[in-house]
Amino acid sequence: MRKVIVVRYAEIGVKGKNRSHFEEILKKNIEMVTGIKPERKWGRIYVDFDWDVDSPEIFGKIFGIQNYSPAFIVELDFEKIKEAAYVLVRKEVESGVKTFKVNAKRPNKKFPMGIYDINSSLGAYILKSFPELKVDVHSPDFIIGVEIRDEGAVVYSQKISGPGGLPVGVEGKALLLLSGGIDSPVAGWYMMRRGIAISTLSFISPPYTGKETIDKLKRLVEKLKEYSSGREIKAYVSPLTSLLEFLKDNAPQKLLLVLQRRSMIRIASRFAKSKRLKALITGESIGQVASQTLDNMSTINEASNILMLKPLLGFDKTEIVDKAKEIGTYEISIEKHLDVCSMFTPKHPATKAKLEIVKEVEEKLKDGIERFEDEAFYSIERIV
| Min CB(289)–Mg ion separation in Å | 8
| Min CB(181)–Mg ion separation in Å | 3
* Interaction partner, residue 184 (Mg ion, ligand ATP, none; CB < 5-8 Å by kind): ligand ATP
Burial class of residue 55 in the structure, from the number of CB atoms within 10 Å of its CB (0-12 exposed, 13-18 middle, 19+ buried)? exposed
Bridge partners for 6 per DSSP: 46, 69
Alpha carbon separation from 55 to 5, 58, 60, 160, 353 (Å, rounded): 11, 7, 11, 12, 54
Burial class of residue 230 in the structure, from the number of CB atoms within 10 Å of its CB (0-12 exposed, 13-18 middle, 19+ buried)? middle
| Min CB(222)–ligand ATP separation in Å | 17
* Interaction partner, residue 182 (ligand ATP, Mg ion, none; CB < 5-8 Å by kind): ligand ATP
Give the residue with the Cβ less far from ligand ATP, 73 or 186.
Answer: 186
DSSP state of 178: -
Q: CA-CA distance, 333 to 328, in Å (whole number)?
A: 9
Task: Decide: is 185 part of the binding site for Mg ion (CB under 5 A).
Answer: no
Give the residue with the Cβ less far from ligand ATP, 44 or 310.
Answer: 310
Task: Decide: is 349 part of the binding site for Mg ion (CB under 5 A).
Answer: no
Number of CB atoms found within 10 A of residue 110's CB = 8
Interface segment toward Mg ion; rule CB under 5 A; list 79-87, 88-96, 107-115, 177-185? 177-185
Give the SS3 label for residue 140.
coil
Give the residue with the Cβ less far from Mg ion, 34 or 179.
Answer: 179
| Min CB(291)–Mg ion separation in Å | 9
Q: CA-CA distance, 86 to 129, in Å (whole number)?
A: 8
* Residue nearest ligand ATP by beta-carbon distance: 181
* Interaction partner, residue 157 (Mg ion, ligand ATP, none; CB < 5-8 Å by kind): none
* Interaction partner, residue 202 (Mg ion, ligand ATP, none; CB < 5-8 Å by kind): ligand ATP
Q: CA-CA distance, 168 to 14, in Å (whole number)?
A: 14
Give the residue with the Cβ less far from Mg ion, 162 or 181.
Answer: 181
Binding site for ligand ATP (CB under 6 A): 177-179, 181-184, 202-203, 282-284, 288-289, 291-292, 340
Give the residue with the Cβ less far from ligand ATP, 119 or 263.
Answer: 263
Contacts of 26 (CB under 8 A, 6+ apart): 7, 9, 45, 62, 64, 65, 167, 170
| Min CB(225)–ligand ATP separation in Å | 18
| Min CB(167)–Mg ion separation in Å | 30
* Interaction partner, residue 288 (Mg ion, ligand ATP, none; CB < 5-8 Å by kind): ligand ATP
Q: CA-CA distance, 195 to 165, in Å (whole number)?
A: 7
| Min CB(343)–ligand ATP separation in Å | 12
Number of CB atoms found within 10 A of residue 203's CB = 26
Give the residue with the Cβ less far from Mg ion, 181 or 239.
Answer: 181
Contact between 21 and 64 under an 8 Å Cβ cutoff? The reply is no
Task: Decide: is 34 part of the binding site for Mg ion (CB under 5 A).
Answer: no
Give the residue with the Cβ less far from ligand ATP, 70 or 239.
Answer: 239
* Residue nearest Mg ion by beta-carbon distance: 181
Q: CA-CA distance, 380 to 97, in Å (whole number)?
A: 58
The per-residue DSSP string of 185-218 comes to HHHHHHHHHBT-EEEEEEEE-TTTS-HHHHHHHH
Which amino acid is it at 281? I
Give the residue with the Cβ less far from ligand ATP, 165 or 283.
Answer: 283
| Min CB(341)–ligand ATP separation in Å | 6
* Interacting residues with Mg ion (CB under 5 A): 179, 181
